[in-house]
Amino acid sequence: MATPSVEEFEREAAEWLAQNAVPRRAVEGDTFVWGEGEFSVSVFHDLAHDDEKDLLEALRVWNQKKAERGYHAVRWSSEFGGLGLDAAHGRAFQRLEAQYETPGGHELFGVTTGLIAQTVKAFGTPEQIERFMEPLLRTDIYACQLFSEPGAGSDLAALGCRATRDGDEWVLNGQKVWSSGAQFSDWGLLIARSDVDVAKHRGMTAFMVPFDVDGVEIRPIKQMSGGQSFNEVFFSDARIPDNLRLGGEGDGWKVALTTLGFERDHSSSGGGSGGRVGGNWPKLLATADAMGCTDDPLVRAALIDYYVHSTVERLVNRRAADNARSGTPGPEASLGKIMWTEGMTLLSDVISKVLGAKLIADTGEWGTYEWGEHVLGAPGYRIAGGSDEVQRNIVGERVLGLPGEPRVDKDLPWRDIPR
Ligand SMILES: Cc1cc2nc3c(=O)[nH]c(=O)nc-3n(C[C@H](O)[C@H](O)[C@H](O)COP(=O)(O)OP(=O)(O)OC[C@H]3O[C@@H](n4cnc5c(N)ncnc54)[C@H](O)[C@@H]3O)c2cc1C
């Protein structure tokens, strides 16, 4: 079948959306109206457990509705239930969809369809691809990332959660932490230590772990902002079959780097959270207008700084997306992630100037105190998926070719590394 032009595709998609969704009353951007409807600039959800579960269920239902026509996976090939179209078609659908009431976004949705699905595609055996790809893309199942541990975050290769081979099975023991959305997940992509006698980067193996096996315990962590985005996940003699190993034995580091590459790429475009999170230019400008401070030269300079940053960021991301037509994102994805988190931080600074005390004292005035959720949430993405400092190391070493930082334990067997 001939590939439809973007215009043809848009016509069909618009018709389908009109039949299957309700138009949105006020749309972000030009038609954002100050004082109307709900004002949200939150970065992380602050929902009760059941409300968050309901949100994920609503996202699943909408995604599966789209899957009836392949709109859930515009750029994925038909082999995976998608339409096999270009980035331009994908963007066109997103633009159209944004005009309709949809359930919104959730980090776990982006992790499942964006990161875990991409990683399974990159490393899965034909059987694993057959088993996982469509369910992940359709969100028949949700899957989270089980990488970080109490003693292994930036230095992920230091991780110590153990996977010990026992015939055709693996026995898992240890702890993961900061596992976003694990309490709502059916599966986790785990990186575990399978060989303690080789250098740390070489002794890891990746697995898809079902959460309904014995020996897996998930404990949500309560955040100071109210929600519970993260979890601790404990493995106590949990047994899984070898056919859930993703990639070869000892390939865990390669698998992890692939997922993290997609995460940088994905989160810099806001996809990791199911869309752009936190505040944005139209809301900032509308708030400054409402506060009557757009004549203040200091505020004007700060507003322009943010406008320039967000415009350049959007164009850089667009160029990177157009260049990376396919394949695994390289270290360049780190640049996009740094720009994104710097933009969020800059926005926090500017809105603080605009709102002053109204940012921290709830006056009840629409669209003011809510900005606290952006300011308190933005730092989280400076850490998630590799901190800003680590991204700068990656750019320095792998994009600019600067000398690497000293890594004294690089060649030591993992068991001999002091900890
Ligand atoms: C919102 C959010 C979601 C997350 N979701 C998940 C998830 O779903 N699954 C998962 O496995 N993990 C998740 N994480 C964990 C995340 O990957 C780690 O927090 C991150 O890798 C940093 O590790 P750490 O917290 O151990 O900090 P550390 O590694 O201990 O870092 C502490 C500080 O030291 C700096 N630092 C460390 N090493 C260097 C270096 N070499 N050079 C310069 N500075 C350095 C860091 O930048 C940081 O400022 C999430 C974290 C956040 C904030």
Centre of ligand 1 to C-alpha 64, Å, is 33
- The pLDDT assigned to 275 comes to 46
The token pair at 39 is 């004002």
- What is the band of 24 on the pLDDT scale with cuts at 50, 70, 90? confident
Q: Is 169 a catalytic residue?
A: no
Long-range contacts of 30-34 (CB under 8 A, 24+ apart): 30/282, 32/282, 32/283, 32/286, 34/286, 34/287, 34/289, 34/290, 34/366, 34/367
Centre of ligand 1 to C-alpha 313, Å, is 23
Give the pTM.
0.89
Nearest Cα neighbor of 235 from 257, 266, 210 is: 210
Q: Between these two residues, 124 and 265, which has the higher pLDDT value?
A: 124
- The pLDDT assigned to 336 comes to 84
- The pLDDT assigned to 399 comes to 86
Of 267-271, 331-335, 341-345, 393-397, minimum mean pLDDT range: 267-271
Q: Is the pLDDT of residue 242 over 90?
A: yes
Q: Return mean pLDDT, the chain.
A: 91
Angstrom CA distances, 199 to 158, 170, 195, stand at 10, 21, 9
Phi, psi of 112 (to 5 degrees): -65, -50
Q: Is the pLDDT of residue 144 over 90?
A: yes
Of 9-13, 45-49, 135-139, 317-321, minimum mean pLDDT range: 317-321
Rounded Cα–Cα distance for residues 284 and 278 (Å):
11
Nearest Cα neighbor of 96 from 2, 19, 4, 1 is: 19
- What is the band of 273 on the pLDDT scale with cuts at 50, 70, 90? very low
| Percent of residues, the chain, with pLDDT higher than 90 | 76
Centre of ligand 1 to C-alpha 390, Å, is 9
231 lines ligand 1 (CB under 6 A): no
- What is the band of 212 on the pLDDT scale with cuts at 50, 70, 90? very high
Centre of ligand 1 to C-alpha 258, Å, is 17
Outline where 111-161 has alpha helix (H).
117-123, 126-137
- The pLDDT assigned to 274 comes to 39
The active-site residue, picked from 107, 149, 263, 332, is 263
- Please check whether residue 204 is in contact with residue 176, taking contact to mean a CB–CB distance below 8 angstroms: no
383 lines ligand 1 (CB under 6 A): yes
380 lines ligand 1 (CB under 6 A): yes
389 lines ligand 1 (CB under 6 A): yes
| Percent of residues, the chain, with pLDDT higher than 70 | 93
Closest C-alpha to ligand 1, atom 23: 153
- What is the band of 225 on the pLDDT scale with cuts at 50, 70, 90? low
Residue 82 DSSP one-character state: S
Average pLDDT, stretch 189-211? 98
Closest C-alpha to ligand 1, atom 20: 153
**Domains in the chain and their CATH numbers?**
143-255 (2.40.110.10), 278-399 (1.20.140.10)
261 lines ligand 1 (CB under 6 A): no
Q: What is the pLDDT of residues 28-82, one digit of tens each?
A: 555 678 998 889 898 888 788 999 999 999 999 999 999 999 999 999 999 999 9
